[in-house]
Amino acid sequence: MSARRTFSLLDLDPDLGQLLTDERRAAARAEIQIEVHRLPEGPWSVGRLADTNPVHVGLLLVEGVVSREVVVADTVSTELLGPGDVLRPWAVQETPSLLQLSVRWNSLTESRLAVLDRRFANRLPQWPEVNSVLIDRLNDRAHRLATTQAISQLNRVDRRLLALFWHLAERWGRMTPDGVAVPLTLSHRMLGQLVGARRPTVSTAIGDLARRDELVRRANGTWLLRGDPVGLPSGEAQRVIPIRRKLLGVRSQFEPLAFRGAEVREDLG
């Protein structure tokens, strides 16, 4: 990571102060200052973080999209992380595992990470409201992982893909006159890693969904969902999608970020 700068945490992520009173929010905004680092697009080597002080809380993803890939034998399972997620690519103590696996990290776009370091940890007891929201974020991440696991167990890959894209649309989707736009340029290979299927099967299923006009890949590589959300009553997309804009509105401190080139490089698996 590089290009370190310092910002107020609540300027970067105002939702972390949602439980604070106006007076306490102003005080927290002034007091909780954190460093922000730029993470360039591409593979992210986290090995150098192994010696990180275990008292550091973690890293807050402020902007961009990062993937965490767990490799077991010849199978890769992928998790997508976005603004508001808390990452901790180090552990207090590494525990031996009988299952041989490896973890790979990729920054799918140029990203920015805030360091929740020891100084932040020392201040956190003064702001239990902020701590509660951080714990809620961790709970949300666990819920998304469980949801993705459930999706991967649906029969038929076309059903898995449709459920996955509506799941992604809750966080990243934008309503357009033509449907719900999902501004992520996910390759067929990565989609297979997200739903537990091989790339050729994913390509066939995407072709079927395109013919049914339920999922369309746009010219810029992003995706467009048509019709109604899976499992929701007709017309519910208009109500559900707009409320997911909060975490996408934290870029004002930086130049706008385009979702460009977000495919995982083919040589990575």
DSSP track, 248-259: G--GGGS-----
Joined together, the tokens standing for residue 233 give 């009553």
Q: Give the pLDDT score at 267.
A: 30
Q: Give the pLDDT score at 231.
A: 62
- The Cα–Cα gap between 125 and 139 comes to 20
CATH number, residue 248? 1.10.10.10
Domain range enclosing 140: 2-149
CB 166 within 8 A of CB 50: no
CATH number, residue 23? 2.60.120.10
Q: Degrees (nearest 5) of the Cα angle 9, 137, 77?
A: 120
- The Cα–Cα gap between 82 and 142 comes to 14
3-state secondary structure (DSSP) of residue 79: strand
How do the pLDDT tens digits run along the chain, 269 residues long?
565 789 999 999 999 999 999 999 999 999 999 999 999 999 998 877 877 888 899 999 999 999 999 999 989 999 999 999 999 988 887 777 788 889 999 999 999 999 999 999 999 999 999 999 999 999 999 999 999 999 999 999 999 999 999 999 999 999 999 999 999 999 999 999 999 999 999 999 999 999 999 999 999 999 999 977 776 655 666 665 654 444 444 443 433 333 333 333 333 23
Domains held by the chain: number: 2
- R_g of the chain, CA atoms, integer Å: 19
SS3 content of the chain, % helix, strand, coil (to 5): 40, 25, 35
Q: Which of 90, 118, 149 corresponds to the end of one domain?
A: 149
Q: Domain check: are 38 and 81 in the same one?
A: yes
Q: Domain check: are 10 and 131 in the same one?
A: yes
Q: Give the pLDDT score at 174.
A: 92
